[in-house]
Structure formats: C-alpha cells, structure tokens
Amino acid sequence: MAMASPQTPVTRPATVIILDFGAQYSQLIARRTREASVYSEILPHDTPWTAIAEREPAAIILTGGPESTLAPNAPGVDPEVWRSGIPILGICYGIQLIARDLGGELVRSTHSEYGPAHLERLGDSPLFAGIAQHTRVWMSHGDTVLAPPPGFTVYGRTAQCAVAAFGDPVRRLYGVQFHPEVVQTEAGTTVISNFLHGIAGIAPEWKMASFVESTVGQIREQVGNGHVICALSGGVDSAVAATLVSRAIGKQLTCVFVDTGLLRANEGQNVVAAFRDVLHLNVVKVDARERFLAALAGVIDPEQKRVRIGHEFIAVFEEEAAKLSDVEWLVQGTLYPDVIESKTPSSKAGHKIKSHHNVGGLPDVMALKLIEPLRLLFKDEVREVGRVLGLPDAIVERQPFPGPGLAVRVLGEVTAQRLDTLRAADLIVTSEIERAALETHPWQYFAVLTPLQSVGVMGDGRTYADLVAVRAITSEDGMTADWARLPYDLLARISTRIVNEVAGVNRVAYDVTTKPPATVEWE
Ligand code: XMP
C-alpha cells in the first residue's frame, strides 16, 4: 500500500471565490451561487492573492463576519484583491471593508440593527435590476457605512442605515449591508444572480450532469489500472461516491459493506441488493455482528461506544482490504462542509459535542491514496448527483443516520436483544410516519430505546418494562431542529402499535425538545 493521500484534482468551471470572515451564512452564500448555476468555493479571508488567483475567479464575494472593521487588527483581505479588476460583492462586513479600504467613512454604531428592514432603492443599479422600489431585507450588523468611497454611488437605504447598498459600476465593485443570501431578504436571490450574471457576466453553466461527466473522466485518468476500495455504509454520501467511481472504473472498484448488527430493520439486505443486484457493483458483505456486540459488551458511555465502534470498523475494513490484491486507492464520501477551512480571528475550536464517526478515520491508518469525488459538493448537491446517476429514491432521499448506527439510539448497554427491541419499535415509527403521507414530511424520525423501566398494567398483570422515545424533527440541515408537530392520531397509532407489538415495552414518550438546547439524537 502506498503512502500519502493526494486528493482528486478537479477541473474548475468558472469559479466565484467567497472570502470568509467567519459569518454564520458563508455556506449559504456558496449555496446561493450554485443555485444560480455558478460554481463557488469558500476560502479564508486572508488567503494570499496568489492562491486566489490560481483559481482564476470570475468574481469575488466578501462575507459578513462577527468583527468590526474599525477594531485594531480587524480582519482584511490581501490588497491585491482590490487591484485585481475582478468584480466584487461585499456583504455586511464585506461592504464595510470596501468602505474602509477604499476611502469611505464608517461609524461604530451604539446599537446593532438586527432583523427585517425595508430597503428603499436609490438611483439605478444593475445590482437591483428587476427589484421593487421598496423591498424587505434582513439586517444583522453593528457598524455602518456613513459615506461611500470616491467613485461609488449609494443605491439603497433603510430607516437605520443611510448607506445600505453602494457600487462603482466602472470597477464593478458593489456592497450591500443586508444579507441577500438569507430567505428573509425578499429579493436576495435576484441580487445574487444580478451580481453573478449581470455584473460579473458569468454564464449559468454549473450543472450536475456536467459535474458527473468531468468527474468520471478525472477518476478514470487518475486511477488508471489501479484497484480501489470503498466502505459502503448505506448512506447517501458513500452510495453516490461509490457509484460515481464505479461509473469511471467499473470492476476495479470493490465496495465493502460491513454488517455491524447496528443497522435498522432490513437495512443490510436492502443495501446489498441495491448495489450488487441493481447497480451491479462489486460488493463484499462482511458479517461482523458478533464482533461489534463483543466490542460493545458492558459499555454504557456514548463516547466510548463511538470510539470502540470506530476502531472495530477500521479493523474489519483493513482485514478485508488485505484480502484484495494491489489496492491503492480509497474512496471517501467527504463533503464540502467538512473541507472548508474557515480562518477568522475570532474562530475558536468548536466544542466537541460528540465525535462523529463515518469512515473518516480510515486513511490515517491505511495510508491509501484518497479519492474524494464529492469534496466540493453540499449534501443536497450530492443527492442531485445521485439522481443524475440513476440511484433509487430510497437511497438518494435517505434520512441521515449516525455512523455508529443504532448503538447511539440504544441508551445504556447495547445487547442483541435491546437492538431487536429498538429495531422493531423503529420500524413502526418509520412505517407509520411514511404511511401517513403528511403534508410536511419530517426531516428525520426514529425510535430511541431508553434505559428507563417503569410500572405498567397489561391485562390483569403489573409490568415493569422499557420506555421507548419517539423523535421526529423538522430541520434544514440537522444543525438546528424543531420537533415535528405530528398529528395526535398518528402518535396514538405509533404508541399503540409499539406497546402491543414490541415485547418488553410498556410506555412510549414523544420528544418535544428543539435543537438547541437538545441534540437530534438522544445518545
Ligand atoms: P445531533 O444529534 O448532533 O445530530 O444533533 C445532528 C445530525 O447528525 C446525525 N448524526 C450523525 N451523522 N455520523 C453521521 O454521519 C455520526 O456519527 C452522527 N451522529 C449524529 C444525526 O442523525 C442528525 O441528523
């Protein structure tokens, strides 16, 4: 096995560079540009000009950020950015930076403006083409621009902010104090596409079909006659990554599917059937159920569970890889949000809430070269690639599922029997919710087996049995969530079926907690 892990080189379509000042919304800006069929990448704000220029950006967007441009050592950009002649859109902190660096005037506000505001357009700007004279925008800032730099014209104001938008059409430099990337800004999408298409003149050409085509070509070239291995989890990311690679190199790819025994009802058979029989991939199924149960025996602490499962997974995977000859490459379903390196003065290492386990730990141990065909994509884009590749809906629309599987949702000790109990309850929850065909389908829904027992009565007898919790949430991305307002009748059916059909359960609770402060999983 070779050392080092270079990543898949990627041919770049016309690219927008988003310089990140640590805004909550940086990823949203990238999504909006891609929705406008323009490819974008996020880089730290202080990326040296040479690294930016390498990507030959067709436009640059400066994000918002938590700092004040007036503070000493406030974050900025390489001055070459201003001299590059590339069209720039500054958003929030971005407009303030343009004002500060190019000779405008700023004032530090005594109070912040946060929330909806009414923008009144001033003058005539291509940035606001097709937008009403008065429109609702979303504000979230402390400092404000008092006067634009020389050469700039003010294009909009709100009650609190006299310079809410400005621009220099000659140099194609624009700024908005509001956030066009959030849905609360009525005409936000139009502002972004006006900038990209109208001002920067970028053709809307970023399409998934062309992404698939070019990626397949690159993988073929990169891998040559080499052998590639991929851990299939059943999740959408590894499924799409594997299918993409197999489209490129066919049987040179071997997928390993590890049955950990921590999967949901019928999941193992379904994954193997879909990939082996329908998509004709080389799939090796490893039955490692006993091993995982042994590794988890007596373990109650959720972090310990995750660690042990991660180690066991790597051990099983390595054994399988060793059985194949000449494996050089490993496919990983890494996504763009995992790749972005955000560098802001205020950025602190995030608190470790839980150690996520996918198959992310593999390359360190195995020293294979990496193929990460999805590393420039967001989750919904991965689903789109899956559709372009003809993957079945059951895989493409799959709910997120923790890497360590049901071990996360069996609170307390994980045993074969408790896993069976949870699987039976979970099947009732998922099938009833899916059968109900709700107008608003929850984003994620599942059962949790708690470590609690309580007294109940069944027939004439007293029971002392398990409590199952039901969790159903609405969410955009799993980062924040609300509990789903499931109809009472549906909850009643779920509850009745669980207590009647699942041995050892005499009580069902519904989780009505948002995230934050709770998490989605119980763990
Ligand atoms: P939490 O519980 O952190 O979950 O609010 C947020 C989302 O992440 C999923 N989740 C995981 N996904 N590996 C994953 O790929 C993991 O280890 C993992 N743990 C939680 C969870 O189901 C929810 O959608």
pLDDT digits (tens, 9 = 90+) for 260-303: 999 999 998 988 998 998 889 999 999 999 999 999 999 999 99
User: Which residue's CA is the nearest one to ligand 1's atom 19?
Assistant: 402
Respond yes or no: is residue 181 known to be catalytic. Answer: yes
Respond yes or no: is residue 381 known to be catalytic. Answer: no
52-72 pLDDT per residue, tens: 999 999 999 999 998 999 999
Atom of ligand 1 nearest to the CA of 479: 6
287-299 pLDDT per residue, tens: 999 999 999 999 9
At 162, list the tokens. 């006299």
Contact residues of ligand 1, CB 6 A cut-off = 356-358, 400, 402-404, 444, 478, 515, 519-521
User: What pLDDT is stored for residue 16 in this prediction?
Assistant: 96
| Pocket mutation for ligand 1, best pick of 306, 520, 522 (most atoms within 8 Å of C-beta) | 520
Give the C-alpha separation, 279 to 119, whole Å. 52
Confidence of residue 344 (pLDDT cuts 50, 70, 90): very low
Confidence of residue 24 (pLDDT cuts 50, 70, 90): confident
User: Would you call 102 exposed, middle or buried from its count of C-beta atoms within 10 A (0-12, 13-18, 19+)?
Assistant: middle
Q: Which of 113, 179, 320, 523 is catalytic?
A: 179
359-369 pLDDT per residue, tens: 444 555 567 88
Strands 144-147 and 105-107: antiparallel
Respond yes or no: is residue 92 known to be catalytic. Answer: yes
**Statement: residue 124 has pLDDT above 90:** yes
Find how far residue 434's CA is from the centre of its chain: 24
Say how many Å lie between the CA of residue 319 and the centre of ligand 1: 27
User: What pLDDT is stored for residue 12 in this prediction?
Assistant: 62
| Pocket mutation for ligand 1, best pick of 335, 382, 401, 446 (most atoms within 8 Å of C-beta) | 401
Confidence of residue 234 (pLDDT cuts 50, 70, 90): confident
Confidence of residue 51 (pLDDT cuts 50, 70, 90): very high
Q: Are 410 and 289 in contact (CB under 8 A)?
A: no
User: What pLDDT is stored for residue 345 in this prediction?
Assistant: 41
Confidence of residue 340 (pLDDT cuts 50, 70, 90): low
Q: What mean pLDDT comes out for the span 214-234?
A: 92
Q: What mean pLDDT comes out for the span 292-315?
A: 95
Per-residue DSSP letter, 349: P
User: What pLDDT is stored for residue 364 in this prediction?
Assistant: 59
Burial 377-411 (b: 16+ CB within 10 A, else e): bbbebbbbbbebbebeeebbebeebbbbbbbbbbb
Burial 65-86 (b: 16+ CB within 10 A, else e): bebbbeeeebbbbbeebbeeeb
386-428 pLDDT per residue, tens: 999 999 888 898 898 998 999 999 999 999 999 999 999 999 9
User: What pLDDT is stored for residue 99 in this prediction?
Assistant: 98
Q: Look-up: residue for tokens 């988890």?
A: 296
Highest mean pLDDT among 15-24, 120-129, 359-368: 120-129
State the pTM of this model: 0.74
Among 40-49, 157-166, 377-386, the range scoring the smallest mean pLDDT is: 377-386
Mean pLDDT, the chain, integer: 90
Say how many Å lie between the CA of residue 479 and the centre of ligand 1: 9
Strands 327-331 and 369-371: parallel
User: What pLDDT is stored for residue 225 in this prediction?
Assistant: 93
**Statement: residue 138 has pLDDT above 60:** yes
**Statement: residue 350 has pLDDT above 60:** no
Give residue 422's region: left, alpha or beta (phi > 0; psi -120 to 50): alpha
Q: Are 208 and 385 in contact (CB under 8 A)?
A: yes
